[in-house]
Structure 1
């Protein structure tokens, strides 16, 4: 029997996938069939993903009034209630139209003074689970009663907004340097920050440091602030804690004017289990938006799991994506919890040590089809927008095109990298670090699949863990951060912090991410207000005054991060081909590689400073140090002359350099033209 050559480019690039090409072809064909079905029934994927313009509360300028429409197939009866009718549960019943959708129309002539933008509303539903007041799933805004703490929907007619970002194109961001931010905890005050405060106070900082992309967390409404925005209740509503939808638009608009892309943390992997605020059992069937039984419940997250095989659920989620792209000009999404979506077991307790795990064991094929539709639609609506997957399983093809046999994401998060750094700091002495292991972890990624590298994100900063800075310096940060206070613990921490971040951004991927404040070594952890801390905001904020204080060493962290980001962006390092290893010196813990035309030299040794260190370089010429972590403005000891040229010399028929490499130091060299 002849070997049949592979059809898919993904398999051609990875022959180990050959036995699984039928599985890959099946998911490709399923996607194509589902897309054809959508096009036959709705005319196009584009139209299919506009359910929010029909369902929910929408103003009709032609008929001059408000429509409220709802998909609730198992409900017995629906009634619109709110302050417009004194919350009367019987006066405004909805009727079922020819499409099986419940609807009611409120003309301006009768309701212009009572049902208007700002009115509070809910829907009273009579169903198998009883008679309950619920928040409409497509609601654009919810607000919380400060006395009772319960949420209600709010009619919201967007105020006219003049966008000034017509010259911004996310496709120009070919090397994303991402600043992960949470608006609520972005201010120094012990309270919740707002969109306006973020735009005024934090956005200029992000721009000054050199980040070209912001990843906004917790944008969609969530009833519990401490969930960090990951237990979403109202998918089309901007979280009212931070301000109005128009104020979010202003934030995005100002970022675009600065040349900064804004992507959104989108949570389609699960939903809050709350009945009062969320989607759970909305029509009384128990399985309207979510799977029935155990499959519809995520035990680790205590939340509900969407049924991605149901066309109305896919329509809800795809319309949600379209809404954020079009209404708020977001430049793409970081899809949260993709591992949980890909597998019916959610990746819990599973070691992905064999390709069978990706194709033959517990894969949610409907979720894969949904993600393929989502990545397709994002590019249709906003070409060049970013789609980043939070996946720890390593699903082959996740970041390859659908035509190649993939799922269509642009990048995946390199989740193993921050976990590795934390493990190293927790469990190994500096003297025992293995540079080959470090190289392996930072370069281990799938061929042709782009990775967002990061040394730490919000996960490493949450209570129960520590940031890199806190792991390195701990309590010494409280007492020895003055610039005139020498301290060995702080010196070590500052040096290693710089090495880890430069090693990660230059070697670990094709994009880079930093969580706000970590660039200047923000101390302590993140702990949202909860009963266990007496509902305190002390640890749910960012202390910018630390980095602004010229008498504190935090300025050294920030200065290095700014210089590092400048070099990486100027020479397009993360979009360059993978690093070329030049030298691995285990006795001195020296790692040298080339990427983006630059020579990166890392000395991880805690003690060994080597005069006249000889290293091989690919091309002859004179080299200059363009970044030196030992500079005094970075908190270093100024041991290396970086204001001179280092000429190469010929030895053993190769080009070599000779320079001083000090312990716990990173250098970046560029050959002079």
Structure 2
């Protein structure tokens, strides 16, 4: 039997019987239509408020319109056992600040921000704001009508990860959503990326948390503008043909006094036992996924962004921390599940429920798990025992690749399997290959800074890494600044080092990434079978002595792109490789091209095959392999 999610427009502002039933069942997917502050439209005035605080003895709405007087707008608790408190206040106006004043059973008084607020005061202020989500006219219908194709598993997908506050700045200040929309869209279109992934934009009190310590699960941060400004941002990117993904954090939340922690004097959203409810690594609270109302809250948050902001997908943060009860804990610091194991059974059920809800109501959107372990079937259907995500970050590929490229090339022959092993499991999940913000913070240095050797070798190595990444099965994700080899480690204060793009090596790297994106879109062999073993074939994975890795990427109709990676600074002349068909094979990419900052070694643009069996293929190419470079070659079908 299908789960009875509520997603149709709610008939009225009050929390009714259907709401109560689904809320208690854990399948209410639209709490944002009945909880929080619902401003009345038309001839009606004021706003309806509703908040979940089952263990409070009294709740009032205090705000700008009543001089923060708790006696003016006292709320009434529903008699249905849900713990919902409601009141209508006739004097509320758009933009006014408010909080809930909650008296606990112990006699304590808390002033809490609204968990379902649509907008908040700008930090460090912590109140919610009464806000209507009306007023923006969407002009992205062409994108919405066609986004199923853009988001499909066989589509070319190259994701540009962005921190909104530090991509570019003006007079030292972050750009607002509307200005950022135009500048970012112009850049992303020019670079050829298909999607932008925003680090969390849900409201967060501490800017230095980058949004990962969320207090407002239904509010885009006020730092960059209003909810309508954020709608404009998404709308404009859609009009330019760019998908928008959000980093979303259902794994933990901060313990700020105005937030969700101890909301009504009890551990309402989080577990009471710190062995279950407190995250030692992030100093934050952990949601109680076994509580039905909490599941409804989180599922409603996820679908809210898809419905009201036309978001194309959610990257779900820190899934591993949700799946394992002993995550970041030692012996005696965690509680086994009901079967005696370390798996968080309630979190598993929640993640399955989340994905079921997303794909039922928004089948043309998708979810991505940031999951760093070998948990099986993360991106497989729930009916097959999977978690139901559309894709999963390939953290193993990332760690092995960066470890391999950190080595001086003279030692790479001893670690050849680091660059080839990923194919063993490449098709066990629908993988995204991430070079994300996590790899360029906390003293890890920039991507270019991880590369060994002098300046020439560093840039050549990074060009190899990126060209190898774009040829490897899986969708691509690159954090901002990596595309032009920013030397400084990323910091959320300030903007990217755009000035370095005036220098040839950096400008060449930027040009290379743009060309990789163009080829990714143009060549079905490079994207169509990303998640199918039929789309990949080794030519020679075992040439550890010369440091050459070669393989074929294949499309559904059998067209191939030959990828040859020379992982050493030694040029290789007369290097024979087998190919499946005879004829002229053109270089469609050479990462050593002068326009990319290379030396210009190569094969004069094309190589004619010889009818000589090699590597199990009927024909062979005799190639010149540039030092520390990648070649893409494609057979000329016009012959």
Confirm or deny that 1:546 pairs with 2:500. Answer: yes
**Structure 1: unaligned runs, 5 residues or longer:** 1-30, 351-355, 474-487, 529-536
- Determine the C-alpha separation between the residues in 1 that align with 2:475 and 2:455: 29
- Determine the C-alpha separation between the residues in 1 that align with 2:45 and 2:590: 65
- Determine the C-alpha separation between the residues in 2 that align with 1:386 and 1:258: 20
User: Superposed, which structure 2 residues align to 1:58-69 within 5 Å?
Assistant: 58-61=38-41, 64-69=45-50
Query: What's the Cα RMSD here?
Result: 2.6
- Determine the C-alpha separation between the residues in 1 that align with 2:439 and 2:134: 39
Please report how far the alpha carbon of residue 381 of structure 1 lies from its aligned counterpart in structure 2 after TM superposition.
2.0
- Determine the C-alpha separation between the residues in 2 that align with 1:425 and 1:106: 62
Match of 2:112 in 1: 134
- The 1:102/1:35 distance shift into structure 2, 3 A limit, reads closer
SS in structure 1 at match of 2:38: strand
Q: Can you list the C-alpha shifts for 1:611-635, whole angstroms capped at 9, x where unaligned?
A: 2211111122221110001110011
- Determine the C-alpha separation between the residues in 1 that align with 2:573 and 2:629: 13
Match of 1:431 in 2: 410
- Determine the C-alpha separation between the residues in 1 that align with 2:611 and 2:24: 64
- Determine the C-alpha separation between the residues in 2 that align with 1:651 and 1:335: 48
From 581, 584, 588, give the equivalent of 2:538: 581
Confirm or deny that 1:222 pairs with 2:212. Answer: no
State the TM-score, normalizing by the size of structure 2: 0.88
- 8 Å Cα contact 2:579-2:619 kept in structure 1: yes
Confirm or deny that 1:570 pairs with 2:522. Answer: yes
- Determine the C-alpha separation between the residues in 2 that align with 1:425 and 1:441: 14
User: Superposed, which structure 2 residues align to 1:52-451 within 5 Å?
Assistant: 52-61=32-41, 64-99=45-80, 100-107=83-90, 111=91, 115-128=92-105, 130-144=108-122, 149-168=124-143, 169-173=146-150, 174-189=155-170, 190-276=172-258, 278-285=259-266, 287-294=267-274, 295-346=276-327, 361-426=341-406, 428-434=407-413, 436-445=416-425, 447-451=427-431
- 8 Å Cα contact 1:622-1:648 kept in structure 2: no
Deviates further, 88-97 or 585-594: 88-97
- Determine the C-alpha separation between the residues in 2 that align with 1:446 and 1:460: 21
Match of 1:26 in 2: none
Please report how far the alpha carbon of residue 204 of structure 1 lies from its aligned counterpart in structure 2 after TM superposition.
1.1
User: Superposed, which structure 2 residues align to 1:519-534 within 5 Å?
Assistant: 519-528=483-492
Please report how far the alpha carbon of residue 91 of structure 1 lies from its aligned counterpart in structure 2 after TM superposition.
2.1
Q: Can you list the C-alpha shifts for 1:575-608, whole angstroms capped at 9, x where unaligned?
A: 324421101322211111000310000111222x
User: Superposed, which structure 2 residues align to 1:591-670 within 5 Å?
Assistant: 591-596=549-554, 597-607=560-570, 609-651=571-613, 654-670=618-634
- 8 Å Cα contact 2:312-2:366 kept in structure 1: yes
- 8 Å Cα contact 2:25-2:292 kept in structure 1: no
- Determine the C-alpha separation between the residues in 1 that align with 2:26 and 2:156: 29
Match of 1:559 in 2: 511
**Structure 2: unaligned runs, 5 residues or longer:** 7-17, 555-559
- Determine the C-alpha separation between the residues in 1 that align with 2:169 and 2:597: 25
- 8 Å Cα contact 1:396-1:446 kept in structure 2: no
- 8 Å Cα contact 2:120-2:129 kept in structure 1: yes
Please report how far the alpha carbon of residue 510 of structure 1 lies from its aligned counterpart in structure 2 after TM superposition.
2.1
- 8 Å Cα contact 2:23-2:293 kept in structure 1: no
Please report how far the alpha carbon of residue 464 of structure 1 lies from its aligned counterpart in structure 2 after TM superposition.
1.7
- Determine the C-alpha separation between the residues in 1 that align with 2:369 and 2:423: 18
- 8 Å Cα contact 2:323-2:347 kept in structure 1: yes
- 8 Å Cα contact 2:156-2:520 kept in structure 1: no
Please report how far the alpha carbon of residue 45 of structure 1 lies from its aligned counterpart in structure 2 after TM superposition.
9.3
- The 1:188/1:60 distance shift into structure 2, 3 A limit, reads closer
